[in-house]
Amino acid sequence: MTQGETGGSLPLSGVRILDLSRMIAAPWCTQMLADLGAEVIKIERPGKGDDMRGYGPPYLKNRDGGNDDSPYYVSTNRNKKSVTVDLSTPEGADVIRQLAKVCDILVENYKVGDLKRYGLDYESMRKLNPRLIYCSVTGFGQTGPDAQRPGLDTLFQATSGLMSMTGEADGPPQKVGMPISDFIGGMYATVAVQAALRHREVNGGSGQHIDISLLECTMASFGSRAQTYLVSGQVPQRRGASTPANEPAGLYACADGDIVLSAGSDNQFVKFARALGRDDWVKDARYHTRSQRNIHRLELNAEIGPLLAKHDRAHWLEQFKDGGVMCAPINDVAEAFAEPQIRARGMVTHAEHPRAGRVPLIANPIRYSETPIPPPRISPDLGEHTDDVLSTLLGMSASDIAALRAKKAL
């Protein structure tokens, strides 16, 4: 069983996952499950492994200054075991089938139909293990006219409408600055797998197939923006850093940099006006209520801009925080990691790498009171656990494993 920092079993201790995923979205799911205590056996191609290992520059640097794995791979594969298997060979496919028999969950992100060629599709696998939860993560889902299309995060951001809502009102559509569709899809897959485990536990012990579409997951994350369109027919527009029906709010320039603030509620607006020394705004009919502020937002922002430009952002951040106004600096990533709150919460952890030494990693943000998540193990070397997993779980001898290597299956 996987132990938490306090010695208790982690929430998913005793759950075993066969991870046939590559790239970002599905590995993000299996990494989350590994953080929560599951044993994750990552299957990689002999000799090359997951494409993300070489996705750079930059790369993690060894002690001698040489390149190692890319940050992409390190960030999505901690706490896993790496086993190299060529599933395109009959012997390799058979190893996968044997492992599936002793696993609770299989996660894959191959193109629709690819694994069926090797007898590794859900229908084939459930005959071997009726309890198996089989999660498929694809760009467009298992059905529909685009099911066979390859895809990547930017395509899902574009197709879903996310890019149309991102950027300044008078500028072009913008991609979110990180692969958000991949991470959203990975999180939906994580939730789905855990719910399927619960279903198996209380409803007869059967597994099932989970169909996760990154396009659909991206659209599902829109929440009120999508619902507004569905009930009104109004297409959401780009508003930069501001929020519809919430004025004043958004990005504002100070003397030395930008901040974001939100004072859209009537109570927050009173605090905001007082912090700026403009108590008269509270009685101004144009700004008295949220709806009036939205009608007169251009006039209001024209008055706010020159006031904020008089002082640097440190002045205004202190003024607004003291006054109870919601505000924040526009940090770059380095500034974000230096934030006292981030440092106090321990959002940077470390793991020992065999060649690079102590490597900083971003910590899992889940905080359990009884089973806190321990510091992670670094992402595995390619094939690091092949012999151990095959001998321990499948009872293979050293000669069995050598024979598979001779046939290029491992």
CA distances from 238 to 167, 229, 232, 241 (A): 6, 14, 17, 9
How far apart, in whole angstroms, are the C-alpha atoms of residue 155 and residue 163? 10
Q: Are 313 and 258 in contact (CB under 8 A)?
A: yes
Smallest Cα–Cα separation from 195: which of 8, 12, 42, 373?
Answer: 12
Q: Which of left, alpha, beta for 383 (phi over 0: left; psi -120 to 50: alpha)? A: left
CA–CA separation, 68 and 382 (whole Å): 11
Asked if residues 182 and 221 have their Cβ atoms less than 8 Å apart, the reply is: no
**Interatomic CA distance for residues 108 and 27, integer angstroms:** 9
Measured CA distances, 43 to 27, 176, 330 (Å) = 11, 30, 40
Residue 351's nearest CA partner among 374, 383, 381, 382 is 374
Closest to 110 (Cα-Cα) out of 90, 131, 133, 135 = 135
Q: Rounded to an integer, what distance in angstroms lies between the CA atom of residue 142 and that of residue 215?
A: 12
- Residue 134 near residue 125, CB atoms below 8 Å: yes
Whether residue 7 contacts residue 370, with contact meaning beta carbons closer than 8 Å, is answered with no
Unique residue bearing structure tokens 């485990």 = 197
Q: How far is CA 183 from CA 65, 75, 218, 290, in A?
A: 31, 12, 9, 34
Active-site positions? 182
Q: Work out whether the CA dihedral 21, 25, 27, 32 comes out positive or negative.
A: negative
The SS3 of residue 48 is coil
Name the E strands within 38-129. 39-44, 80-84, 105-108
